[in-house]
Amino acid sequence: MTTADPTSPRPRTMDVYRQWWLHDARWYQGVAKRFGHTVANEINAEALHYVAVQVGKRIARQFGGRPAANLEELRCRYDACAEWMFPGELRDGATAVLPGGEIELTMRQNFAVTMVRMAGSLDGYACPCTDIHAGWSEGLGVDLTRNCATACLRNGDPACRLLMGIGGQA
């Protein structure tokens, strides 16, 4: 067994993550090529939903398992979910509570779209954002009354804009 040269630079954590994300994009491309984009998008959305539920549960535990006291606290929990799945170094986004009581997520840059574009898979790719938000909400114990994208970087819009209407909290 050989060991790494201790004098050679170690990869930074973000460099390792980027390799895995590039793997994911290439994996998506391989599934799309063999089985079609519909299947690749469905599997991608299912996997991301699962991960999002786990992240939502983690954040709920960090907040003591109690429901959010108000929409601002819930917004902060969604921000924490986003940070666990998509570190701030790889995205430019924020959430806001809108006057009508919905929570809006705005994403001006997202590494996932960049990586899918780099892998040559942007045509036919369907963003799984609403599946991710549904997973976060499930993990946080929140019922969504609305979960939709009103703009998307993938479609050439300057930012993704996603709306979440909040029902009750379980």
Q: Which domains does the chain have, with CATH numbers?
A: 13-169 (3.30.1380.20)
pLDDT, tens only, 42-57: 999 999 999 999 999 9
pLDDT of 167 above 60: yes
The rounded Cα 134 to chain-centroid distance in angstroms is: 11
User: How far is residue 42's CA from residue 149's CA, in Å, rounded to a whole number?
Assistant: 17
pTM value is 0.86
pLDDT of 3 above 80: no
- In our burial notation (b when 16+ CB lie closer than 10 A, e otherwise), range 115-134 reads bbeebebeeebebbbbbbbb
Kindly state the tokens that stand for 131. Answer: 């599946």
pLDDT, tens only, 50-99: 999 999 999 999 999 999 999 999 999 999 999 998 888 778 999 999 99
Q: What percent of the chain has pLDDT over 90?
A: 62
| The total number of residues written for the chain in this structure | 170
User: How far is residue 24's CA from residue 46's CA, in Å, rounded to a whole number?
Assistant: 14
Residue ranges with strand state E in the chain: 91-97, 103-110, 142-151, 160-169
DSSP state of 101: S
pLDDT of 11 = 77
pLDDT of 18 above 80: no
Angle formed at CA 112 by CA 109 and CA 116, multiple of 5 degrees? 120
